[in-house]
Chain A
Amino acid sequence: MTRRTCESDEGLLEALGGVAASVPESEHTDDIRRTFLLKVEAAGARASAGAEAPSTANADLRGRLLPAFGAIAIALVAALVIFTSLGLASLHAMPGNPLYSVKRTIESTRIALGGPGAKVDSLLEQAEERLVELKYINSHGMRDWALAIASDAEEDVREAKREAARLGAGKAREADKKAGGIVVQHEQSITDSLPLIPEPERGPVKQWMDEEIKDYESEPGSEGPQRQAETAGAQPRQRTAERVVSEPRLKDEEVSGETRSSGQAVAEPEHTEQPPVSHNIEPSRVSPEQHSTEDAPVLDRTRESPAAEGTESREASSVPVIRTGEDPASVAGRAE
């Protein structure tokens, strides 16, 4: 038998369950049960009588409720105005902001009201929002929030996948891919949050992130960087947490022409420390915040030399640099 260490919660919790299970049964269970079942019978009889009651009672009720209807309508409109204003104001609230709970309530309501298909998308959007918040949490060193927000992101992704699985294999695959893309996109934020997360929970969060990335990269058609690198015979990419060498930001060739012409594909070759690599992210999934804060050099990973992949010092000549307004295709040609 493996000896546990005190660092693990498993033994403590097992012991807790063991002691708790030894609570002696009540001596009065039979009496309580009998009394309860008598109440059930009485309630059942009342319910049957209520169902058979004449409709005049309903008419009286309607008479009393109608005058109140106007007041209720006014209150509803007022509440709607207040909630709409609050909702708009809370839209970009971050953890710690007084309006943050309003934002979360609105998100939950949106998910509760959405249909099954919309629910999957809403949950994934919600997970992505949590990961954006995680970046904020990291930058502000908000230790108290890191675990809660990372766990919520994880839970949202899992829930979205469960929901998608209920809708069929196609939807499940689509949700898996989207979820993986989101996690890959925010890999740096999750990794940065790990030191803020208490030790016993750090492992599960990292494990979840790694699983999502692995699934995403093994997804047929996703052609993640890992997959591309392996196909090209290069070394597998390093995890963000393990990456120590500055590396120009790369962008896959799936990025639409619209995105390319919007000026995002701007290189900042002078950077010595670059943000993490973004892989295969649909342009629509990239949040405005990231556009503004991660405006790193964007290159076409598929065009870089396989030999350069994963090496610690990349030769400058192997890195095609995209300049503002330049067509990436011509950059590739220049590189060759």
Chain B
Amino acid sequence: MGSDWDPEEIASGAKRYDPDAFAALFDTFFEKIRRYAYFHTGDESLADDLASEVFSQALESIDGFTDRGGTIGPWLYGIAKNVVASHFRSAAAKPTIPLEEVALAPSGDCPEEDALRNLSCEELYVALSTLSEDQRAILLLRFIEGYDVKTVAKIVGKRPGAVRTQQHRAIAALRERFKAMEDDG
């Protein structure tokens, strides 16, 4: 589901509690936020709940939001990051699936890449779950949601340099995992 509204229109409408603007906000971002939550939790119904919570919190705090030119998306992801972190704090433990369960792909010129291409969503979650929460958030925001380093830095509350460092480490860790799996297989 999508929306014809641009982020700035959504922001100004939402500030006035315009239901259409909130509907557009939901249509534009719900699936994305849910996907973000899914890759943190590995549970589809939990992702539904967390995404729903993100929108409830957005509604409660819309008065405090100041749009700086299409920043409502990053703002929403900032809430999502907190909601996910809060979930892990209250749950005290996150679901873990042994990485060995991740399916291996036939080797090609780049085995890690081939392995990744053949993963299911669940398996990708498993692979991502080996990363730190920040690294996971950065990878998801950078390469799945397509935000630039600066925007991701604002969402995760880190400096751009730190985001790049974390991103590099996350990729290196993923690559290492897939390589090890390929070697073992």
Contact = CB atoms under 8 A, between A and B. Distances in A.
Interface in B39-91: 39, 44-45, 47-48, 51-52, 55-56, 59-60, 63
Nearest to A16: B143
Contact of B161 (A6, A11, A29, A149): A149
Given A20-B121, A20-B124, A21-B144, A40 B19 contact: yes
Given A16-B139, A147-B168, A36 B55 contact: yes
- Counting chain B residues whose Cβ lies within 8 A of the other chain, the interface size class is 35 or more
Given A148-B164, A198-B168, A16 B124 contact: yes
Nearest to A5: B110
A23 B35 contact: yes
A153 to B, nearest CB: 8
A201 B121 contact: no
Nearest to A3: B109
Instruction: Label chain A's interface by main secondary structure.
Output: helix
B180 interface: no
Interface string B7-45: 000000000011100110011001100110011000011
Nearest to A104: B159
Given A23-B38, A40-B22, A11 B31 contact: no
Given A24-B44, A37-B23, A40-B17, A148 B116 contact: no
B44 A26 contact: yes
Interface stretch (A41-49, A55-63, A168-176, A256-264): A41-49
Contact of A11 (B63, B113, B150): B113
B57 to A, nearest CB: 11
Given A20-B35, A20-B121, A36 B159 contact: no
Contact of B160 (A16, A151, A198): A151
A26 B171 contact: no
Contacts of B60: 43
A25 interface: yes
A29 B31 CA distance: 8
Interface in B97-117: 109-113, 116-117
B149 A36 contact: no
16 contacts: A12-B113, A15-B113, A20-B140, A20-B143, A22-B120, A22-B121, A35-B52, A36-B26, A37-B26, A47-B63, A147-B165, A150-B161, A151-B160, A151-B161, A155-B161, A159-B150
Given A6-B109, A36-B22, A44-B19, 6 more contacts: A16-B143, A16-B174, A23-B39, A26-B51, A43-B59, A198-B172
Interface of B: 1, 17-19, 22-23, 26-27, 30-31, 34-35, 38-39, 44-45, 47-48, 51-52, 55-56, 59-60, 63, 109-113, 116-117, 119-121, 124, 139-140, 143-144, 149-150, 159-162, 164-165, 168, 171-172, 174-175
Interface of A: 3-6, 9, 11-13, 15-26, 28-29, 32-33, 35-37, 39-41, 43-44, 47-48, 104, 144, 147-152, 155, 159, 198, 200-201
